[in-house]
Amino acid sequence: MEEFHDGGFDLSIIRPSMRIEEIKFRGEGVPAGQSGRIKAALLTFHNLETMAVHLYRCQLTRASTELNRQMLAAMCNEMTHVQDFQVKLYEYGWRPSRLQWAFWLVGLVIGLGSRLGGARSILKAARWAEIRAVRHYSELLQSVDWDEETRRVIEKDRFDEIGHVKRWEDLLKSV
């Protein structure tokens, strides 16, 4: 796991505000090869965030515990990431993958499976998923030539994922 830098972001903000001026049509004049990499990366982000939302949703129980509170906050944050990438896809003139249901299903399987194993299993599964998310974010930030506004959204979402890893690691120490 790479070192934790805040990048000017605040982890206590779960749902950042968004203004109408931030919605723009993108992609004009982007070379085809670069456009293809952007599309593939945005679809990857959107699909994996969809998986994360459903993973957390299926891990939640009805109990009023600190773990459930943290999971609920993480799920809410992941929902904003799904929205971030869905908006970016539409800004570029694309649509989410028709196969996103498969990522929903993977989240369901991992979430319910880990929930059956109890708190430690839930935290390990969440940590595992977030570590992979951080790797994907890091790789795709470096391998794609992003416009500055999109890059900033991706960096913020990546920072959130690093924060989730740290949160699950801290909670694992107390379980």
H or E element: which one contains 95? none
Please report the pLDDT score of residue 11 as a whole number.
82
pLDDT per residue as tens digits for the range 43-85: 999 999 999 999 999 999 999 999 999 999 999 999 999 999 9
| Exposed e or buried b per residue across 64-91, where buried means at least 16 C-beta atoms within 10 angstroms of its C-beta | eeebbebbeebbebbbbbbebbbbbbeb
Which CATH code fits 33-174?
A: 1.20.1260.10
DSSP alpha helices (H): ranges in the chain?
32-59, 66-91, 100-116, 119-143, 148-174
Please report the pLDDT score of residue 9 as a whole number.
83
User: What are the backbone angles phi and psi of residue 51, rounded to the nearest 5°?
Assistant: -60, -45
From the centroid of its chain, how far is CA 141? 14
Provide the pLDDT confidence category of residue 5 given band limits of 50, 70 and 90. Answer: low
For residue 163, what are its two tokens?
Answer: 């924060």
For residue 148, what are its two tokens?
Answer: 């500055």
Query: What number is the average pLDDT over the span 25-42?
Result: 93
User: What are the backbone angles phi and psi of residue 19, rounded to the nearest 5°?
Assistant: -105, 155
Q: Cβ distance 125 to 114 under 8 Å?
A: yes
**Does residue 131 register a pLDDT over 60?**
yes
Please report the pLDDT score of residue 168 as a whole number.
97
- Between 14 and 44, name the one with better pLDDT: 44
pLDDT per residue as tens digits for the range 79-100: 999 999 999 999 999 999 999 9
Query: What number is the average pLDDT over the span 97-111?
Result: 96
Please report the pLDDT score of residue 2 as a whole number.
46
- The span from the CA of 129 to the CA of 123, in Å, is 10
pTM recorded for the entire structure: 0.92
List the domain boundaries for the chain: 33-174
Query: What number is the average pLDDT over the span 39-44?
Result: 97
- The span from the CA of 8 to the CA of 74, in Å, is 20
